Structure 1
Amino acid sequence: MAEGGRGETFLARCSVDAGVFALRPDYRVVLVAAEGLVGGPTDETSDALLREAERTAQVLLADRPPEALASVAAWRDAYRAFGAKPQRTRNSLEALLRRVASGLPRVNRLTDLYNAISVRHLLPLGGEDLDRYAGPARLALASGDEPFETVTSGDVRFEHPEPGEVVWCDDEGVTCRRWNWRQTHRTRLGEDTTAALFVLEALDPMPDEALAAAAADLVDHLNAYAPQAGVARRLITAPSRGARRC
């Protein structure tokens, strides 16, 4: 897979606000920007990845609920830190794990891929259409005025986050509410997506090595999907943690 390109420039401008690190100094995120991807509907490859992830999770959850897992419990604590109720608004990892028994959703080949990696490595992982972004990605505490585009019963409508809510946003508004709870309709991956931003997030007790392994797994599969694609990645941590490899 080729390196460089617009992805590196985009990632260099992305940021995490100090207020987020004040809530969770252990927070780390790897951002992966990929161009030249081949989208499309769910296929045999993406379905097989999801089936493998389902089998792995079924073994892991055989004798315990998702919230008993250390990674899920850590995200529940993070949600409580900014006033969210994790029983009502579940982080994306927990939401996927709770669907394992009935089957993980099949959406499209790129979304299927990141959902499978999320379950396999037990971390929240989101995907965004890079061509639909307006400016860089930023994780911040919301003022409450930012627009969040969603679709209900086929109709586009706009909501606003709660003041102090942790949100991903760009220059047009919120791209994901409550850290990694619900993505905006505007930037979601589609069958026609050819450039994407993937967001891999970690809290303690997940070690840095496990986060790096998840990012490498994602990149390896992107490479298999589109060998000529360009990829860039960046690790962002609290300044107190120092520089680390991703």
Structure 2
Amino acid sequence: MRFNHAAAMWQTFPELRAGALHATGIDAGADVEAAITSFGAIAEARLAGAQESEFPEIQAWRRGFSRMGLKPTQYRSASEALLRRFRQEHALPRLHPLVDLCNAVSLAFAIPIAVFDVEKIAGDLEVRPATGDETYLTFGGDIEHPEPNEVIFADGEGRAHARRWTNRQSGLSAVRPTTRSVLIVAEALHASAEADIARLVATLADHLAKAWPPAPKAALLSAASPGFEF
């Protein structure tokens, strides 16, 4: 399988930097509580000095959403939504150890992280503008069709696994207790994105290897090296 961003994405967002990881042997019994607590403390400390809307990572995504024609306070990147909830409640709901770990890392880095069940993806997965014919399954079980030119994660059968780029994933490929193999994608648009994505991928790979060995396959993506084979 291959994951990549379409050429149009690199042309429109040349500042984009991304990381991808493929992890296997996933199970819902892993204990990642210490890591979640540690990353949560990092987020708490940062939020004590400023609201998430002031973070350069979040401001960059807001500018990106504006360039896509979306109101950034109506549609937020996943990292902003998580930070906003965490600031208000000082905790996030627990869903699955892997999702909880990735959410905690997302909080600490203020960078959106998507996690997909590989077995639910048909063919390759590409971040690209939608044609408008794709189907998207909500977490409530409804079928939607993305707007033409809306940025989506699309598979080989025209199914959208995320809408509005980093805004919302699909219920189709969400991690469940039966999930065994996942693709994890982190994306950033801010000035220090290249260094921060590299650090995030290395950090997450280390924790994944400890909780769900063997070590995941990982790659850093750019316009010069846009694809990840796994």
In the superposition, the TM-score normalised over structure 2's length comes to 0.90
User: For 2:192 and 2:123, how far apart are their aligned partners in 1?
Assistant: 30
Q: 2:100 aligns to what?
A: 112
Shift of 1:207: 3.8
Equivalent in the alignment of 2:184? 198
The Cα RMSD (Å) is 1.9
Q: 1:77 deviation in Å?
A: 0.5
Match of 1:3 in 2: none
Distance 1:167 1:179 in 2: 5
Which letter maps to 2:24? Answer: E
Q: Partners in 1 of 2:84 and 2:128 — Cα distance?
A: 27
Q: Does the 8 Å contact 1:83/1:165 carry over to 2?
A: no
Judge conservation of contact 2:79–2:107 (CA < 8 Å) in 1.
yes
Q: How do 1:110-189 residues align onto structure 2 when only pairs under 5 Å count?
A: 110-152=98-140, 156-172=141-157, 173-189=159-175
AA in 2 matched with 1:162: E
| CA distance in structure 1 between the partners assigned to 2:21 and 2:149 by the alignment | 26
Q: Structure 2 CA distance, aligned partners of 1:159 and 1:82?
A: 19
1:122 aligned partner, one-letter code: A
Query: Partner of 1:14: helix, strand, or coil?
Result: strand
Q: Which runs of 5+ in 2 are unaligned?
A: none
Report if the CA contact (8 A) 2:129-2:151 is conserved: yes
Asked whether the equivalents of residues 109 and 191 of structure 1 are also in contact (C-alpha less than 8 Å), the reply is no
| Alignment-derived partner of residue 59 in structure 2 | 73
Is it true that 1:236 corresponds to 2:221 in the alignment?
yes
Q: CA deviation at 1:122?
A: 2.0
Q: Percent identity?
A: 31
- Give the conservation status (yes or no) of the 8 Å contact 2:135–2:160: yes
- So what's the TM-score if we normalise by structure 1? 0.85
Deviation per CA, 1:98-146: give whole Å up to 9, x if none: 1113112211101011111111222111111111111111000111111
Match of 2:77?
Answer: 91
Q: Alpha-carbon deviation of 1:230?
A: 5.4
Q: Specify whether residues 85 and 242 from structure 1 end up closer, same or farther in structure 2 by C-alpha distance, changes over 3 A only.
A: closer
Query: Cα–Cα, structure 1 residues 147 and 242, in superposed 2: closer, same or farther, change >3 Å?
Result: closer
